Amino acid sequence: MRHSRSVHVQRSRNETLPQAGGADLLPSLSSLLWLPQALLIAMAVGAMASGHFDALPYQAMGVLALGALRAWLDALGARLSFQAARAALTDLRAAALARLLASSPLDRDRQESGAAASIIAEQAEAVVPYLARFRPIRCKATILPLVIVAVVFPLSWAAALALLISLPVIPLFMALIGWRAEATSRAQMVELGQMNAFLLERLRGLATIRGLGATARTTAAIHTHAETLREKTMAVLRIAFMTSAVLELFSALGVAMVAVYVGFHLLGDLNFGAWGGQLSLTQGMFILLLAPHFFEPMRELSAVWHDRANGEAALAALQIQIAGAGTQLPSAPPAPASPTAPAVHLDQVSFRHSGADKPVLQALSLKIAAGEHVAIMAPSGGGKSTLLALIAGLVPPDQGAIYIAGQTPAQMRQHMAWIGQDPHIFAGTLAQNISLGRDLPPGAAAQAMADAQMQRVAALHGSGPIGEGGYGLSGGEVLRLSLARAMARPADHPAMLLLADEPTAHLDPTTAAEVTHSLLRAAKGKTLITATHDPVLAAKMDRIIQLDPIGMEDAA
């Protein structure tokens, strides 16, 4: 059996994003209603100028009714766009998290936790304004200017020309800035991720940093990161301000050109541009009212231009995360739960860690009987933990196959319990650290604590929290907690295969004997594979398997 060690999932941006739909069109529709509103206002002004006031109340009512309809359309469009954007972000986050969960915890190419958390939790939020604000406005900027030119052109080609002259300059300029803005935003986000990763790492290792007097160096490095982030943020802001300023300038010039033309034309000084005729006050007024709206979507677009740059940079970061680098674990539907201990069979298994030049295991074959208790022994670095990780399905073998009760490790992952060498303790109570959010029967956590002989620890900490990373617990207590986790199982998911990685390492003989006793009690009637250097623990097993670099031999 051969697994791909590096699976790159290529997805196009369109595949992961909702397509522009009705919600994106609603603001455009609302803006188009300004045309009849402007016409009614122009007609009212024209009528008032010639002394006719009869139609005025109806025109005013029409303007108000259209205004109310526009407000409703705007609100509906904003709500629908926002909902669609949040749903799209949830899907993207779920895909990125699924990829993270499917990656091997042993892979050194795995992204740093701080950077992954920064992208998925913080930077990903930039996708919402991009989808909810930028896209509807881009849609409006495509439709509204064309419609306005089409309406103005039959009245006055000169006014339409004045509008058209300034229009192409704007998208051209924005495209030029857009390339620069996206690169700058991407650099800012990368720096943010790096700073988060650095901070998280250093916070985790605070005790080591303090213990070895490396705080000054760490503070200087954090300062450098913060300074780089400040510079990159300022670059993004500079571009955002510059875009706004330039667009305001061009739209002001465009409106001014139309106003000057219409004004002088009505005064009789510029007698051209109206197809050989003369614009009436109503027509001139109508054109004047439309001119600012012609530029409005462009100005709105400039206001949300940095949303685009940030949103696309965040999308790119999420998509890299979703495509994922490094080893991906095979997924398989879980095998049905069984109350019988499984046999474990390794058939010609070879494995080399990514980036390592030599394999850790080479063509290793091994049979462990159902219910057997075995100790795997080897010198330090001999591959014991790697072997347990392969059986646990935490990493796929390069060659060969592993069967647990005839199934693959991926199918059996839910039916085994892993007692790791360096268990992670979360900030929370002992009971929360044992249940890990699993659906345990009532009292299961307390029973597991008793089975793992944690009465003294439980009495000391009660239902109070223990610190992240196990602060407040001794090394032996952390091991017992790890044992209790393995013992506490959902009622319908008994773990009939226990994998223990050096469960007595660094313990004094008395504590080691207590932990061994608890482990053996937990493993009664189950298959137990333990990696150990401890001869006392090994002697209590049914068999000792000695690993050597080229394979294995039974030593007893």
Ligand X SMILES: Nc1ncnc2c1ncn2[C@@H]1O[C@H](COP(=O)(O)OP(=O)(O)OP(=O)(O)O)[C@@H](O)[C@H]1O
- Would you tell me which residues interact with ligand X (CB under 6 A)? 106, 108, 353, 356, 360, 378, 380-386, 531
Distances (CA, A) of 299 to 31, 63, 140, 170, 247: 14, 24, 11, 10, 6
Tell me the one-letter amino acid at 251.
Answer: S
- How is residue 26 written in tokens? 């609603």
Q: Which of 6, 16, 66, 82 is nearest to 322 (CA)?
A: 16
Cβ nearer to ligand X, comparing 379 with 467: 379
Least separation, in Å, of the C-beta of 103 and ligand X? Answer: 12
Least separation, in Å, of the C-beta of 382 and ligand X? Answer: 4
Tell me the one-letter amino acid at 91.
Answer: D
* Residue 73: φ, ψ to 5°: -65, -40
| Residues listed for the chain | 556
Cβ nearer to ligand X, comparing 68 with 101: 101
Cβ nearer to ligand X, comparing 307 with 502: 502
Least separation, in Å, of the C-beta of 500 and ligand X? Answer: 12
Least separation, in Å, of the C-beta of 547 and ligand X? Answer: 7
Where b means 16+ CB within 10 Å and e means fewer, 172-185 reads ebbeebbeebbebb
Cβ nearer to ligand X, comparing 327 with 511: 327
Tell me the one-letter amino acid at 240.
Answer: A
Strand partners, 375: 530, 544
Least separation, in Å, of the C-beta of 476 and ligand X? Answer: 18
- How is residue 396 written in tokens? 């796929």
Cβ nearer to ligand X, comparing 92 with 378: 378
Cα(310)–Cα(134) distance, integer angstroms: 11
Tell me the one-letter amino acid at 199.
Answer: L
Cβ nearer to ligand X, comparing 277 with 549: 549
Strand partners, 347: 401
Cα(520)–Cα(514) distance, integer angstroms: 10
Tell me the one-letter amino acid at 209.
Answer: I
Least separation, in Å, of the C-beta of 372 and ligand X? Answer: 20
Least separation, in Å, of the C-beta of 364 and ligand X? Answer: 12
Cβ nearer to ligand X, comparing 185 with 385: 385
Cβ nearer to ligand X, comparing 345 with 353: 353
Least separation, in Å, of the C-beta of 297 and ligand X? Answer: 53
Cβ nearer to ligand X, comparing 333 with 355: 355
SS3 354: coil
Cβ nearer to ligand X, comparing 283 with 385: 385
Q: Cβ atoms within 10 A of the Cβ of 346, count?
A: 22
Q: Which long-range contacts (CB under 8 A, 24 or more apart) does 242-249 make?
A: 242/177, 243/174, 243/177, 243/181, 243/302, 243/305, 243/306, 244/302, 244/303, 244/305, 246/173, 246/177, 246/302, 247/170, 247/173, 247/174, 247/298, 247/299, 247/301, 247/302, 248/299, 248/302
Cβ nearer to ligand X, comparing 106 with 199: 106
Cβ nearer to ligand X, comparing 62 with 383: 383
Cα(464)–Cα(448) distance, integer angstroms: 18
Least separation, in Å, of the C-beta of 395 and ligand X? Answer: 8
Gyration radius of the chain over CA positions:
35
Task: Enter the DSSP assignment of 453.
Answer: T
Helices (H), 102-156: 113-117, 127-129, 135-152
Least separation, in Å, of the C-beta of 383 and ligand X? Answer: 4
Q: Which of 554, 500, 550, 555 is nearest to 526 (CA)?
A: 500
Cβ nearer to ligand X, comparing 158 with 529: 529
Least separation, in Å, of the C-beta of 336 and ligand X? Answer: 31
Least separation, in Å, of the C-beta of 531 and ligand X? Answer: 6
Least separation, in Å, of the C-beta of 311 and ligand X? Answer: 35
Taking each helix axis as running N to C, give the angle between helix 475-487 and helix 509-522, from 0 to 180 degrees, rounded to the nearest 10. Answer: 0
